[in-house]
Structure 1
């Protein structure tokens, strides 16, 4: 068993080396430390694949102990041949196709199998012949080594009880290796991302893991929610997302402020009095709202953090049953606020007190412009923690100290995702007896302290702080967790870069932050087709659209409609039914899924 692991791991390391050498022209220069970093960061996915490959042999070994007549040698010969062929095809395909595709082998390849003539139209016959020859040689060599070094080791030995005991011990260890440990996040492609260079990140990814993990996401998205003909769909969404236009109002004193986006975990507007919520819970946000810009009619695009963060930072809509963040093949096609700011000289980074590998978040962040990601794994081990990670007051302190280290020359953008206003709501703070409002009050206190500390420094003068929630939080009120009341979230801009207090009551969603912010900075937001500059003169039909598990909400000046797709059940509708809101919501479901399919 040890020989099997060593041999397969060795082949993976050799594959990475060959991948880098073959595609070296795509990066131009690469240091020895970069090469070692690729090998090191890729180990976790390599071991996960080994875990999958060893699972079946473990079962077969148990069978051989139960039945002495089991033809172990013949079965493992077939298994070794299968492994050799699969690994060879995946490795050669990934290495050879990367210069054409620019991303790791994934389920996209299956879209071309229906038309192999078109699939191979861009490559020469010589290229194909060399690829086939290399695949045959690699498969033959790996099969020979597996049979020579490993073949007999799978068979029942002279000490069956010892062998049986070791095999049973290996099962839970294999499960942990496949899962990626006992933490909240499970093994995903993004966990090996470590660099601003996408080539280095891609080189670290095990191609077989990339292929298999993407297969359950290789759905025919444009076949979902086909309510209308193309002509009717286009007519229903016409004008909903206006073309790029300058802001009709200027909210900022500077075109190049330092931008701090604080994404507030689960922080629905119902907890903030200045946004129409309960009084007394968030006195700090309320006082900051009296001096900043309040976007009073903002709604969360979805109901989960992975969806909300992506909608906020990439200006992309959410989906009822798909998390784009978990789809590297799709999320890498998205633009990002960080990417746009980096393009005009901003330094960018992301801070989170929890595990940034959860839901492939780290991979998404690095692919959309964040140069550095700081999370639980890189923060000091002696910081106070709860089940999700470092408590917010400690990460707010870390953020303040980081800001104080920054000079006045180069502009910067930091995004910070909080975590303490989330189950289990255990916080080192006591204002209310009820744990839920107490946790939100704790986060509010952290925001107030940060603002007060920064206000006393030069950093405040050119600072724009944007507080926006990822989604709301349901505690049993109203008609359910997907009502407009729950999806109503705060968005507040404050800091020295803000001109004056304003209340902007135009309907919007968090995905409109990208276009609205970039327009205020005089930057193009053309790369964000689903994000609207709500301060533009052509934003003439304000509306909010959001999704939840197989349902959607649509809000405009006529009212609110929230509907489940299954059975077309209406969950919320006021002040009166509206067929037009239903039709437009369905048209957006169809439009967004069509767009996702094309990415």
Structure 2
């Protein structure tokens, strides 16, 4: 449905939809999601959820030197901790990210909330945890009802746009982004056939980073703050890139993206906009490579988040357990913008963030990890199959089940029109 979206006005988008096609597409999503994962009676579920996402923003640590910086999110395809030497990953693959992590604000204990780009995009920009049996982005009625960082910033006067060198219609991405407040989208259709034919997945990162630099360069002198998000793609299978550093094709592809990031940062740091720009480096999800141990174990879902740029006041390390879903509340709180709509996103820089935990999902399973340990649960087999510190297992599993049940209650209510 979202392939015909062309405007930030949802009325115009809906007017462009073929009604017959829309009827059949809607029939696919008539499932009652609230009936899934009914682990507990509502009262017990509410008890287990109490306090898990409560942060009051009364004592936020300020890490920026301005309340209205330009903001660039470099959304890095699959760039999990296994590729970051500072997080125990492969050596020498990402020297630029390692360097930037020491120069800015480094969130060193962060976890992806899901395992695919379509899910990770919603987790990041809408602050909504990933679901094991549903991609929210693919269901327009639900996706269009989600809060979005872009929408919040647009209301605060920001110019918003999204750049991706691949197919932006894939998994209804176009519909989700436009409904979420991104005012302009740039995708592979905006590049020449020669640029697009460099790679099977889309335009390689060196070309899209050049486009990004030129886009930002054109805004010099503008008084309107901007929020730009850029999804890279070269660190994705088939891992074919115009670069040669490692014989291993996975390592080589990630090293290429890291090289492109380093080159872009070096160029952009010399522009007048650098002084008032916050750059957020964050992956969409991790990658189970090198293939060592259980693929749903936490070290494959651990991801870096780095805040850099001239708007960052000073280097620091945030080592509390957190989730990529926490970007929304943490970022908006720094700007003094309300984030009440992001009910599953927490401001991890606030003193009231005293119950740090991470929750992530995979194909019909979930993980809950906190200071007591780690529990990875299989929803089909109804058992824990990965456990660290067994003494706290039952409580971790109970909290994870309560979160999962709550998430499906919400999407079920949204899909049926009962929740707004």
Instruction: Pick one of 198, 201, 204 that aligns with 1:388.
Output: 201
Aligned partners of 1:358, 1:538: CA distance in 2, in Å?
39
- Aligned partner of residue 538 in structure 1, secondary structure: coil
Q: Which residue of 2 aligns with 1:583?
A: 398
Decide which of 316, 330, 349 is 2:128's aligned counterpart: 316
Q: Secondary structure at the match of 2:195?
A: coil
Q: CA deviation at 1:317?
A: 1.1
Secondary structure of the structure 2 residue equivalent to 1:219: coil
1:61-98: CA deviation from partner (whole Å, max 9, x where unpaired):
xxxxxxxxxxxxxxxxxxxxxxxxxxxxxxxxxxxxxx
Residues 1:303 and 2:120 are matched in the alignment: no
CA-atom RMSD in angstroms: 1.2
- 1:404 matched to 2:217? The reply is yes
Contact 2:58 2:352 in 1 (8 A): no
Distance 1:529 1:433 in 2: 45
Corresponding residue of 2:266: 452
Contact 1:483 1:571 in 2 (8 A): no
User: Displacement of 1:378 after TM fit?
Assistant: 1.5
CA contact (8 A) 1:247 1:520 kept: no
Q: Could you tell me how far 1:246 is from its partner in structure 2?
A: 4.2
1:199 is aligned to 11
Higher helix proportion, which one?
Answer: 1
* Counterpart for residue 99 of structure 2: 287
**Residue 362 and residue 555 in structure 1: after superposition, are their counterparts in 2 closer, same or farther (change >3 A)?**
same
Q: CA deviation at 1:243?
A: 4.6
Distance in 1, matches of 2:281 and 2:303, equals: 10
Q: Distance in 1 between matches of 2:56 and 2:140?
A: 27
**Paired residue for 2:249, among 426, 435, 451?**
435
Looking at structure 2, the residues matched to 503 and 239 of structure 1 have their Cα atoms a distance apart, in angstroms, of 25
1:541 aligns with 2:355: yes
Residue 379 of structure 1: CA displacement? 2.0
Q: What does residue range 101-120 of structure 1 map to in structure 2 within 5 Å?
A: none
| Distance across 1 between alignment mates of 2:224 and 2:390 | 53
CA distance in 1, matches of 2:117, 2:58: 30
Q: For 2:331 and 2:365, how far apart are their aligned partners in 1?
A: 29
Identify which of 161, 179, 188 aligns with 1:367. 179
Distance in 1 separating the partners of 2:56 and 2:172: 31
Alignment check: 8 A CA contact 1:553 1:560 kept: yes
Cα distance in 2 for partners of 1:270, 1:434 equals: 14
For each residue in 1:404-457, what CA deviation from the matched residue of structure 2 results, as whole angstroms up to 9, or x when unmatched? Answer: 000331100001101000000000000101100000000000000000001111
- Write the distance in 1 (CA, Å) between the matches of 2:295 and 2:191: 34
TM-score, length-normalised on structure 1? 0.68
Partner of 1:242: 54
Q: Give the equivalent residue in structure 2 for 1:568.
A: 382
Q: Who is 1:417 aligned against?
A: 231
User: Would you say 1:595 and 2:410 are equivalent positions?
Assistant: yes
Provide the C-alpha distance between the structure 2 equivalents of 1:562 and 1:312, rounded to a whole number of angstroms.
Answer: 22
- Distance in structure 2 (CA, Å) of the matches to 1:596 and 1:378: 34
- For these two proteins, the number of residue pairs brought into alignment is 411
Q: SS where residue 349 of structure 1 aligns?
A: strand
Check conservation: 2:80, 2:304, Cα contact below 8 A: yes
Q: Which has the higher contact order (CA 8 A, sep 6+)?
A: 2
Give the deviation of 1:221 after TM superposition: 1.1
Task: List runs of 5+ in structure 2 lacking aligned partners.
Answer: 415-420
CA distance in 2, matches of 1:516, 1:217: 32
Contact 2:55 2:347 in 1 (8 A): no
Distance 2:372 2:382 in 1: 20
| Aligned position for 1:183 | none
Q: Distance in 2 between matches of 1:569 and 1:476?
A: 26
Q: What residue in structure 1 maps to residue 2 of structure 2?
A: 190
The one-character-per-residue Cα deviations of 1:367-396 (angstroms, maximum 9, x if unpaired) are: 000001100012233325311110010000
Distance across 1 between alignment mates of 2:279 and 2:68: 13
Tell me the secondary structure at the aligned position of residue 566 of structure 1.
coil
Cα distance in 2 for partners of 1:247, 1:442 equals 40
SS in 1 for 2:238: coil
Deviation of the 1:476 alpha carbon: 5.7
**More strand, by proportion:** 2
Any idea what SS the aligned residue of 1:597 has? helix
Matched-pair contact (CA < 8 Å) for 2:55–2:353: no
CA distance in 2, matches of 1:460, 1:593: 42
Provide, for residues 38-80 of structure 1, a one-character-per-residue CA deviation record: whole Å limited to 9, x for no partner. Answer: xxxxxxxxxxxxxxxxxxxxxxxxxxxxxxxxxxxxxxxxxxx
- 2: CA distance, partners of 1:212 / 1:247: 50
Aligned to 1:354: 166
Task: Please state if 1:270 is matched with 2:61.
Answer: no
**Aligned: 1:522 with 2:342:** no
Rate the CA distance shift 1:217–1:247 in 2: closer, same or farther, 3 A.
farther
- Whole-Å separation in 1 of the counterparts to 2:111 and 2:55: 21
The superposition leaves residues 543-571 of structure 1 with CA deviations (integer Å, 9 ceiling, x where unpaired) of 00011111000000001111111122323
Please state if 1:224 is matched with 2:36.
yes
Contact residue 338 and residue 368 of structure 1 kept, 8 A: yes
Q: Which residue is 1:96 aligned to?
A: none
Q: TM-score, normalised by structure 2?
A: 0.96
Q: Distance in 1 between matches of 2:286 and 2:100?
A: 20
Deviation at 1:253, TM superposition (A): 0.7
Cα distance, 1:483 vs structure 2: 1.2
Between 1:531-540 and 1:415-424, the stretch displaced more is 531-540
Is the CA contact 1:246–1:519 (under 8 Å) kept in the aligned structure 2? no
